[in-house]
Structure 1
Amino acid sequence: MPRRRRRESRRADTCCPKPRGECPGASCCAVARPSPRRPEETAVHDHRKLGRELDLFDTDPLIGAGLPYWLPDGAAVRHALEEYVREAERRAGYRHVYSPVLGKRELYEISGHWAHYADDMFPPMELGGEQLVLRPSLCPHHAVLFRSRPRSYRDLPLRMAELGGMYRSELSGVLGGLTRVRAIQLNDAHVFCRPDQVADEVRGALALIREAYAALGIEASRYRLSLPGEGGKYVADPALWQRANAVLTEVLEDARVAYEVGSGEAAFYGPKIDVQIADAAGREATLSTVQVDFHQPERFDLGYTGADGARHRPVMVHRAVIGSVERAVAHLIEVHQGAFPAWLAPVQLLVLPVSDGQRPQAEALVREAVGQGLRAELADPAAGTLGARVRAGRLVPYQAVIGPAEAADGQVSLRLRDGRRPGARPAAEALRLIGDQVAARSAELWPAAG
């Protein structure tokens, strides 16, 4: 096995999504832009500080750098996010798969990752005379899944999605919070399609990304058409690059999406559309991406039977709606400052009995809310005065106060996170209204006519 090299020049930007050795410096998508906040404000809004204060995630030297663990509240946010994207993909015609996080070294030699990404991959593990590698990407696995069965033109487009783990051997100096980690949970998908279907699949992927950003309450800082630069790290096939670039440009122009061109930002196998976000310090990073790939279908000798009975080569469209779950949650923490949309909130309903006398009714309401699919908790009267408990739960979207009058009438007095008080109403009605807002993944806390 050739000795793995460690490049000496490595930027300290923790938000750069590029593999080691691919970050060109000032032109990189993680280049720092002027911060919209003063340094002391940036520190307050930094997800690394907020995430720990809110008990969402943390790290431990015994587990290792770049390997954060998720606490219960953070796991609830992550689970809600993953369920959202799975459902959005299902509605868009994607079929979900699972594939192993390990693969033989030969798999990545075929895909080209071993030649281009070896410095970013963990060393192979010797097992039974074979070398197994933690995967740095999901696309080789999905290519193998595609070729595992005969395919017809009638099967295409075949949209294959997976929320899967991948691993990058990052240097400790570039790791930070959730934005740059070694174990990544990626919202990945690969569409195998005919050449005449590529543009529509790219359009569909961009539509999914815009829909997700609206639901999550986040905005793109800009769109970038990422093209190859100088050097030998890119696949040497000008005709394939030209074809892929033409498709992406056509889709962006037809959609009237304002974009910038980034030379040297492409994947080694093809150009891509990168959707950029900015963190609390104003630094940019890629969250979502759509890529057109003519290279890997050829490397894996993928094929389908056309209407003419002949064998044809499919095109592979790579796309990630929310990118890595870690980076997405990091951005959501900073954007919402812990006040997540109700459907994402770790605790959606906090039930507050005024005193122990209303505790039985409060506990019954929590059980009913949990049974209806809400994340609900009891604010124990022993934890302090009603005012103190209300303040402690200020980030919870909905608070239900039960005093003697409410307990007697089977009602709750609702308080919303934004300060509104819809007033007392039957407990069942309150749960129904809250449940409807959560199920709709609405950005509003309360229905206009509620």
Structure 2
Amino acid sequence: MHDHRKLGRELDLFDTDPLMGAGLPYWLPDGAAVRHALEEYVRGAERRAGYRHVYSPVLGKRELYEISGHWSHYSEDMFPPMDLGGEQVVLRPSLCPHHALIYRSRAHSYRELPLRMAELGGMYRSELSGVLGGLTRVRAIQLNDAHIFCTPDQAADEARAALELIRRAYEALGIRAARYRLSLPGPGGKYVADPGMWQRAAALLREVLDDSGVPYEAAEGEAAFYGPKIDVQIADGAGREATLSTVQVDFHQPEQFGLHYIGPDGAKHRPVMVHRSIIGSVERAVAHLIEVHGGAFPAWLAPTQLAVLPVSDAEMGQAAGLVRRCAGLGLRAEIAGADHGTLGARIRAARLVPYQAVIGAKEAADDHVAVRLRDGRRLDAMPADEFLARIGALVDAHSTELWDGDAAG
């Protein structure tokens, strides 16, 4: 497995600058393309699963985090408050208090539940300089977050559905879980003091894991301060584990924010808040993808999906036309013309690109392309439109396969 800190810079995906500060990487165009494709995949998967997307501010009043419990249980990991107009505001360490307020802003009936609210939003954590590194430990985080507000008897089904979304995402990304962990409270005072709440939430998550049939281990001391969680662990080449995806059950914040819905009896009832993240932070997800794939991303994620290689300057017009057709189809293509070296050198330079379309005089005359796949296979020359349709279908399906049929060797 590769080191994403080294390879990510070599591939011009991301970098850092001392004037921006430690733990604050910036994304270069190729890295931004990977990130955008990943974010759009997640949004699409969430929409199909019945989520609605929101945007919320990255700042909140200190009082907001006092109510949620973050200030008393988590303030050492938060940035200091800023004085603003006689009030103190804080860069948020989490999105859940904002989503609780959005839920609270409107009346809700049991008929609306479960209400699934999702956001790809920024949050900020005051990590110590010594633990920062690459994209895995940063101070500005883009989190794929969602909160499901549901009745108590819906919570287990929603948590199970979240685990299935995570499973399908890992399949599309070409990654695997190292293990599943049931994260429980441990000794110490960082947790909300409500033993009954903890027992109820842990029992629900055990049921979900048992029903899902995935092996898991319980780990004390790894829970969130407000509730237990399922952590989906990934591992790097050295076997070091990190949490990528989570499913959490929260009875605490609905109580703290006074959330309710009107039940069939006409009375107010307290919803359960299920937190879940399919890919965790975009930064950590991309770091893992770089290391797993060595920069040879699945075609739907690749920053450049198709390298167009005209044999000589005479085919440049045909090559430019093919790139324009790709743009119209939502495919990312670039020309590597003869001024970039010999054809062999250009093919080697594009070794991480999923598809290479070579255009010689005959192909240009017939509107065909000679296709090379990243794995070394060569396909018979085919009409350009057919080729683009076939790779477009694979990209749209978020497939990890390079081709959907037999290819000549």
TM-score of the pair, normalised by structure 2: 0.99
SS state of the match for residue 182, structure 2?
strand
Find the aligned partners of 1:172 and 1:318 in 2 and give their Cα distance: 29
Is 2:109 aligned against 1:186?
Answer: no
Mapping of residues 344-359 of structure 1, within 5 Å: 344-359=301-316
Is 2:360 aligned against 1:409?
Answer: no
Is 2:124 aligned against 1:167?
Answer: yes
Mapping of residues 20-59 of structure 1, within 5 Å: 45-59=2-16
CA deviations 1:384-421 (Å, max 9, x no partner) are 00000000000000000001111111111000001111
CA contact (8 A) 1:226 1:266 kept: yes
CA deviations 1:116-173 (Å, max 9, x no partner) are 1111111111111010100000000000000000011011100000000000011111
Q: CA deviation at 1:281?
A: 2.0
Task: Single out whichever of 87-96 and 428-437 deviates more from structure 2.
Answer: 428-437
SS state of the match for residue 422, structure 1?
strand
Structure 1 segments (4+ residues) deviating >6 Å: none
The partner residue of 1:282 within 230, 239, 253 is 239
Find the aligned partners of 1:141 and 1:436 in 2 and give their Cα distance: 38
Q: CA deviation at 1:49?
A: 0.4
Find the aligned partners of 1:440 and 1:231 in 2 and give their Cα distance: 47
Find the aligned partners of 2:313 and 2:213 in 1 and give their Cα distance: 60
CA contact (8 A) 1:162 1:188 kept: yes
The partner residue of 1:202 within 159, 164, 169 is 159
Unmatched 5+ stretches in structure 1: 1-41
Which position in structure 1 is the counterpart of 2:272? 315
CA deviations 1:323-344 (Å, max 9, x no partner) are 0000000000000000000000
Which position in structure 2 is the counterpart of 1:93? 50
Which position in structure 1 is the counterpart of 2:299? 342
Which position in structure 2 is the counterpart of 1:3? none
SS state of the match for residue 393, structure 2?
helix
Q: CA deviation at 1:428?
A: 1.1
CA contact (8 A) 1:102 1:132 kept: yes
Find the aligned partners of 1:93 and 1:210 in 2 and give their Cα distance: 17
Is 2:15 aligned against 1:66?
Answer: no
Which position in structure 2 is the counterpart of 1:368? 325
Q: CA deviation at 1:99?
A: 0.2
CA contact (8 A) 1:415 1:423 kept: no
TM-score of the pair, normalised by structure 1: 0.90
Find the aligned partners of 1:175 and 1:61 in 2 and give their Cα distance: 13
Which position in structure 2 is the counterpart of 1:424? 381
RMSD (Å), alpha carbons: 0.8
**Which amino acid is the alignment partner of residue 240 of structure 1?**
M
**Which amino acid is the alignment partner of residue 64 of structure 1?**
G
SS state of the match for residue 378, structure 2?
coil
CA contact (8 A) 1:55 1:71 kept: yes
CA contact (8 A) 1:189 1:319 kept: yes
Find the aligned partners of 1:365 and 1:232 in 2 and give their Cα distance: 62
CA contact (8 A) 1:78 1:325 kept: yes
Q: CA deviation at 1:448?
A: 2.0
The partner residue of 2:97 within 124, 128, 140 is 140
CA contact (8 A) 1:95 1:160 kept: yes
**Which amino acid is the alignment partner of residue 308 of structure 2?**
V
Find the aligned partners of 1:169 and 1:340 in 2 and give their Cα distance: 31
CA deviations 1:191-222 (Å, max 9, x no partner) are 00000001000000000000000000000000
Q: CA deviation at 1:449?
A: 5.6
Find the aligned partners of 1:196 and 1:364 in 2 and give their Cα distance: 57
Which position in structure 2 is the counterpart of 1:158? 115
SS state of the match for residue 297, structure 2?
coil
